[in-house]
Structure 1
Amino acid sequence: MNTTAQPWPRPSEAVRELMRKGAERAQSLPPEWIERLNQSLFSSPEDEKLLEDPVILAACRRANRSELLHWANANMQRPGEPVGVYVSADMVDTARELARRGLSEVLMNSARTTQSAAWELWMKMAFGLTQDPVLLEELLEVSSRSISEFIAGNMRVITQIVLEEKSALTHHDHIDKRSLVTRLLDGRDVDTEQLSQRLGYSLQQKHYAYVIWSEIQDAEIRPLEEMARALARLTGTAAPLIVFAGPATVWLWAGAAKPLDHSLLQGVVQQFPKIRAAIGSPAAGLNGFRRSHLEALNTQSLVGRLAGAPPVTRIDQVRMVSLMTQDARASKQFVVSTLGRLATESTVLQHALHAFLANGCNITQTAEALGTHRNTLLRRLERAQDLLPIEFADHRIQIAAALELLIWNTPLNEDDSLA
Structure 2
Amino acid sequence: MKRVSRRALLKTTAAGLAAAAIGGKAFAGASYDPGATDKEIRIGQFGPLSGPVSSFGVLANAMDAYFRMLNERGGVNGRTIKFINYDDAYSPPKSVEAVRRLIEGDEVLFISGAMGTPGNIAVQKYMNARKVPQLFLAAAASKLSDPAANPWTMVGGTTYEIEGAVIGRYIASTSPGAKVGLLYQNDDAGKATLSGLKNGLGARTSQIVSELNYSVSDPTIDSQIVQMKMAGADVVFLITIPRMASQALRKMAALDWRPQVFLGAGNASTRATLQPAGFENAQGVLAFVTRKDPGNPLWTEAPDMKEYMAFLDRYVPNADRADDLYAIGYTVAATTAHVIGQCGDQLTRANVLHQAANLRNFAAPLLIPGITLNTTPNDYVPIKQFQLMRFKGEAYEKVGELLNAG
The answer to whether TM tops 0.5 is no
Q: Which has the larger radius of gyration?
A: 1
More helix by proportion, 1 or 2? 1
TM superposition score normalised by structure 2: 0.29
